[in-house]
Structure 1
Amino acid sequence: MLGLADVEAARDILAGTAVRTPVVESRWLSDLTGQQVHLKCENLQRTGSFKLRGAFVRIARLSARERAAGVVAASAGNHAQGVALAAQQLGIPATVFMPEGAPIPKERATRAYGAEVVFAGRYFDDALREALAYADRTGATFIHPFDHPDVVVGQGTVGLEMLDQVPDAATILVPAGGGGLVAGVALAVKAVRPGVRVVAVQAEGASAIAPSLDAGAPVRLDSMSTMADGIAVGRPGEVPLALIREHVDDVVSVSEESLSQALLSLVERAKMVVEPAGAAAVAALVDRPDAYQGPVVALLSGGNIDPLLLGKVIRHGLASAGRFLNLAVSLPDVPGALNGLLTEIAASQANIRTIGHDRTSSSLRLDEVEVRIECETRGTEHAEALIARLRDLGYKVL
């Protein structure tokens, strides 16, 4: 049985290692929701995520013999960096198995913290299998990313900090994958202030906690599809699930569009760079701005995002918000027709990014050409007004 004393003991272990990350008020989210909203910035934690907390507590409690044999982990990134830095700080050899598609910045950071990185298979389960085999073969201790009491209470120290920083918090939103973070936060929060509402936020394409709660035991998803690799876990842990059942008030899920729009808004409005998983709590607020009593604390769980993915997600978020508009317009194939269309688009204050022509579509008449134009707009209302204007002028917007 885990309790507040266990989380407080973990806090003592982490003193001088984990950073007490800041809480900042978000004016744009407060305006959106009509409640006071704060952001707990674990994206500014050492290694760029909360994972250092649980990994350090787990490794710090190993015996001298276990330390001599080293530690091993399987991770696509954040847990890998947490284990690597914790092992470096404690003078313990570490090996991390990663799937072959792991983000390059996370792999490089893990190596920079002194761990040996081994690629194994295409998926996390492949890396996990190899890590467990390595542990059996060498005697190294396997450091689970979420399904261990020491890991859970280590992550729970985030909850103690949030209550100290926002003592009147009414709702806390926490990204959730395997469940270690939300279980630890809920354990700590409910022990200190039982009336605070704790909500776990999952990606729709990797939402395993709700069906597991319904089944009364961890259930493995048949498949997963989400950009939020930090919470893409197909089966929650047994230790976290028991705590979630006891202490978490609700489990919600958010779409890929919501994640990308939340990430974009955090960059634009809060000046915070986060990974898709780290934006999940904000996505829940954007999806249902009237659903949560304030003051609200939304946890930004991590900021380790590949710059290439960041670019893709920002473009996706701009498109989802109506800031990018893709037009397909059928024009007469005569001189001046394109110029007239471009003049109307310019008059609407939309900015043209790209133009393409198609004269071979089976839907076109012999004397027509299809023009594809990508525009930058000010948002959905501006985009819809432009389309309506073009149709009023007689253009065939496809």
Structure 2
Amino acid sequence: MPLTTFAGPSLAEFEAARLVVTEVTQPTPMETSRFLGSILGSPVFLKCENLQRTGSYKLRGAYNRLSKLTAEERSHGVVAASAGNHAQGVALAARELGIKATIYMPLGVALPKLEATRDYGAEVVLEGHIFNESLAAAIEMAERTGAMFIPPFDHADIIAGQGTLGLEILDEIPDVDTIIVAIGGGGLISGVASAVKQKAALLGRTVRIIGVQAENAAAYPPSLAAGHAVTIDVHPTIADGIAVAKPGLQNFDIIKDAVDEVVTVSEDDTARAMLMLMERAKMVVEPAGAVSVAAILAGKVTDAGKTVAILSGGNIDPLVLQRIVAHGLAASERYLKLRIMLPDRPGQLARTAQIVSDANANVVEVLHTRHGRGLQIGEAELELHIETRGKEHRQLVVKRLRDEGFKVRISDDI
């Protein structure tokens, strides 16, 4: 079978990048997920790039790009803009290669990401309230000082470095049928798709590549429909690591030919996936890294055969993780928030608590007030946060309370 080629790096360039990248990266585990396999109806494996150095795949592309710099270019240092994983990848790559790195980050960047970037040896400049302001400042510094700007995804060396992950997957699961990959700007999936498809063609095989975007930041579906990269309005998403308004131009040229399908997942889908990964796989995965699993749970992937879902990153602020876990429990119908109207007289709180207890549910938070809007004199409102075991158990708890005459409203405001 003739070798398949795509715009961007050749298979030889991916193989060369692999030799470079192994100087600093480590092979990440490939774990079996029987739970996801039972949902998909075929074997599912998790490629745990969340356990990579710096906590994501970004180190691969950053190190490959920096390794190509000349001595003259290295002497001026490098500069990048990032709110997270790219920052850490560039910082560690620069440290390993003895290059001064300056990273521009937004003022509100999560503290763990800020501290990790500094710990890897980079100088961090907090500039701007949003990423685009940090990006503009980084580009201005590069033009002013001669430092080399390191883009997060739209560069052939970055793409070649990220594609080394695809070659690693083929080593571990040579007969893989489908690989599911998150998409932001497109650096990871363009590298993985091109490297895998070129290598698979040599073996006389085909591998299906499915990309996943957060539905609130999905630039690729309209871009692929239009035949060229288009800019979208990005809405708030927990998967901020893949919230990119416009595809990378080099990435898009590869993706339109090498990626078989692009699907989107909701915020609830992603939160459920993160919760499932913690409970079933014992993996802490950031939202952007969990969208591949979210696509399986949401039924967006079918007829997949032997499947690898890439967990692309694990860097998440613990405070954000706490909120997302609560959201995931609610999305999985295992967390119930109720508002109950009560007569304002002694014993009503104890009575509701006993009903919930008798239904084998657990109250985790209580708010009792006489001052809510719409309350009459002599009434109080009770807000209960309850742990349940799923949809049927939720319904039972609500039914028991209503059967006892309480006015119960279910709130989705978790």
- Whether TM exceeds 0.5 here: the answer is yes
Kindly indicate whether residue 78 of structure 2 is the aligned counterpart of residue 71 of structure 1: yes
Aligned residue identity for 2:314: G
1:293 to 304, 321, 327: 304
Compare 8-17 and 246-255 and name the one that shifted more. Answer: 8-17
Kindly indicate whether residue 88 of structure 2 is the aligned counterpart of residue 81 of structure 1: yes
Equivalent residues of 1:32, 1:289 under 8 A apart: no
Equivalent residues of 2:181, 2:209 under 8 A apart: yes
User: Where does structure 1 lack aligned partners over 5 or more consecutive residues?
Assistant: none
Q: State the number of aligned residues.
A: 398
Kindly indicate whether residue 114 of structure 2 is the aligned counterpart of residue 110 of structure 1: no
SS in 1 for 2:351: helix
Kindly indicate whether residue 197 of structure 2 is the aligned counterpart of residue 190 of structure 1: yes
Aligned residue identity for 1:180: G
Cα distance in 2 for partners of 1:83, 1:339 equals 57
Q: After TM superposition, list the pairs within 5 Å mapping 1:266-277 onto structure 2.
A: 266-277=277-288
Which residue in the other structure is 1:39 paired with? 46
Aligned residue identity for 1:317: G
CA displacement at 1:381 relative to structure 2: 1.9
Q: After TM superposition, list the pairs within 5 Å mapping 1:159-198 onto structure 2.
A: 159-193=166-200, 195-198=206-209
CA displacement at 1:377 relative to structure 2: 1.0
Cα distance in 2 for partners of 1:197, 1:395 equals 54
CA displacement at 1:227 relative to structure 2: 1.2
SS in 1 for 2:212: strand
Cα distance in 1 for partners of 2:183, 2:373 equals 48
Which residue in the other structure is 1:338 paired with? 349
Compare 217-226 and 8-17 and name the one that shifted more. Answer: 217-226
2:318 to 307, 311, 322: 307
Q: After TM superposition, list the pairs within 5 Å mapping 1:93-108 onto structure 2.
A: 93-108=100-115
Cα distance in 2 for partners of 1:274, 1:182 equals 18
Cα distance in 1 for partners of 2:238, 2:185 equals 16
Aligned residue identity for 2:174: P
Kindly indicate whether residue 404 of structure 2 is the aligned counterpart of residue 397 of structure 1: no
Equivalent residues of 2:78, 2:102 under 8 A apart: yes
Which residue in the other structure is 2:3 paired with? none
SS in 2 for 1:96: strand
Which residue in the other structure is 1:279 paired with? 290
Cα distance in 2 for partners of 1:335, 1:349 equals 24
Compare 353-362 and 271-280 and name the one that shifted more. Answer: 353-362
Cα distance in 2 for partners of 1:367, 1:120 equals 53
Q: After TM superposition, list the pairs within 5 Å mapping 1:202-351 onto structure 2.
A: 202-288=213-299, 291-351=302-362
Compare 246-255 and 209-218 and name the one that shifted more. Answer: 209-218
Equivalent residues of 1:52, 1:82 under 8 A apart: yes
SS in 2 for 1:297: strand
Cα distance in 1 for partners of 2:80, 2:48 equals 25
SS in 2 for 1:81: helix
CA displacement at 1:174 relative to structure 2: 0.3
Equivalent residues of 1:354, 1:373 under 8 A apart: yes
CA displacement at 1:171 relative to structure 2: 1.0
Aligned residue identity for 2:269: S
Structure 1 361/136 Cα, relative in aligned 2: closer, same or farther at 3 Å?
A: closer
Aligned residue identity for 1:32: I
| Identity across matched positions, percent | 52
CA displacement at 1:358 relative to structure 2: 3.1
Equivalent residues of 2:180, 2:209 under 8 A apart: yes
1:144 to 137, 147, 151: 151
Equivalent residues of 2:184, 2:247 under 8 A apart: yes
Equivalent residues of 1:391, 1:397 under 8 A apart: yes
Cα distance in 2 for partners of 1:157, 1:238 equals 20
CA displacement at 1:87 relative to structure 2: 0.8
Compare 221-230 and 111-120 and name the one that shifted more. Answer: 221-230
Cα distance in 2 for partners of 1:140, 1:202 equals 32
CA displacement at 1:8 relative to structure 2: 0.6
Compare 273-282 and 99-108 and name the one that shifted more. Answer: 99-108
CA displacement at 1:370 relative to structure 2: 2.3
Cα distance in 1 for partners of 2:24, 2:376 equals 69
Deviations 1:188-247 (A, max 9, x none): 111122521101111111111111222222212223311112111111100000000010
Equivalent residues of 2:112, 2:317 under 8 A apart: yes
Equivalent residues of 1:364, 1:370 under 8 A apart: yes
SS in 2 for 1:373: strand
TM-score w.r.t. length of structure 1: 0.96
CA displacement at 1:120 relative to structure 2: 1.0
Cα distance in 1 for partners of 2:365, 2:94 equals 50
Structure 1 75/216 Cα, relative in aligned 2: closer, same or farther at 3 Å?
A: same
Cα distance in 1 for partners of 2:135, 2:177 equals 38
Structure 1 80/360 Cα, relative in aligned 2: closer, same or farther at 3 Å?
A: closer
CA displacement at 1:365 relative to structure 2: 4.4
Deviations 1:320-360 (A, max 9, x none): 11222111122333333332222111100111112222334
Compare 288-297 and 50-59 and name the one that shifted more. Answer: 288-297
Cα distance in 2 for partners of 1:362, 1:275 equals 38
Equivalent residues of 2:367, 2:383 under 8 A apart: yes
SS in 2 for 1:304: coil
Structure 1 239/362 Cα, relative in aligned 2: closer, same or farther at 3 Å?
A: closer
Equivalent residues of 2:62, 2:89 under 8 A apart: yes
CA RMSD of aligned residues (A): 1.5
Equivalent residues of 2:166, 2:193 under 8 A apart: yes
Structure 1 370/204 Cα, relative in aligned 2: closer, same or farther at 3 Å?
A: same
